[in-house]
Amino acid sequence: MAEGKGWKERIISPSKREWESVIDDLQKEFGKDLFEAGYDKDELTKLQWAFSEAIYNKVKHGNEFNPEKKTRVRWKVTGTGVEVKVKDEGKTFDYAKALKEAEKKEDAIAPVAILESWNPKDCGAGLAITLRNLGRKSVSYDEGGREVSLKYKRPKKPMSIFLVQE
């Protein structure tokens, strides 16, 4: 999906005190777009989690809850897939190392166990859940780790064939 028509964009700069409500509002807007595009409950849950986790990581780790730094959130929802890009104004980081650490967690712990024991101070759990839910190839980083991209391609539904006997 090339950027252009159909993309939504929001610029946020929440402080540590207000980040939850800001991300919650964005997640609701994103969820409405998914619902209107016909995504089922399982897809909604997975995609909304990944969406909010990507924003949270950029606000917390990238911009360090600094309200003077902006986080740019862009998304496009179609009937065939979703693309999300979240960019911070923080320092670069070793995203390959972060992905490897998250993959270790993702391989070692079932998603339900991660959710049950998840602590916001436990870095990497959200990315591990995202990798488990959307697949390893769904997450990529650009600009020294300042921008994360999430891509989800909807699986094609099997076609039903009904045979009628005369």
pLDDT of 53 over the 50 cut: yes
Residue predicted with more confidence, 9 or 127: 9
Counted residue by residue, the chain has a size of 166
d(CA 56, CA 93): 16
Compute the half-sphere exposure of residue 31: CA atoms within 13 Å on the CB side of its CA: 15
Share of the chain above pLDDT 90, in %: 55
pLDDT, position 87: 97
Q: How confident is the model at residue 104 (pLDDT cuts 50, 70, 90)?
A: confident
Name the range with the highest mean pLDDT among 41-50, 75-84, 137-146.
Answer: 75-84
Tokens of 145: 């780790």
Give 123-153 pLDDT, tens digit per residue. 566 777 787 788 878 999 998 989 999 999 9
Contact between residue 30 and residue 81 where contact means Cβ atoms under 8 Å apart: no
For residue 112, CA distances in Å to 29, 54, 63, 101, 128 come to: 25, 19, 29, 18, 12
For residues 106-120, give the mean pLDDT.
Answer: 51
pLDDT, residue 114, reads: 45
140 φ/ψ angles, rounded to the nearest 5 degrees: -145, 160
Say which amino acid occupies 78: T
Residues 158, 80: Cα–Cα separation, whole Å = 14
pLDDT average, residue stretch 2-24 = 88
What DSSP assignment string belongs to 71-122? EEEEEEE-SSEEEEEEE-SS----HHHHHHHHHHHHHHS-HHHHHHH--TTS
The larger pLDDT score, comparing residue 108 to residue 118, is at 108
Instruction: Using pLDDT thresholds of 50, 70 and 90, give the confidence band for residue 102.
Output: confident
pTM over 0.85: no
Domains of the chain listed by start with CATH number: 8-153 (3.30.565.10)
- With a cut of 80, say whether residue 86 has pLDDT above it: yes
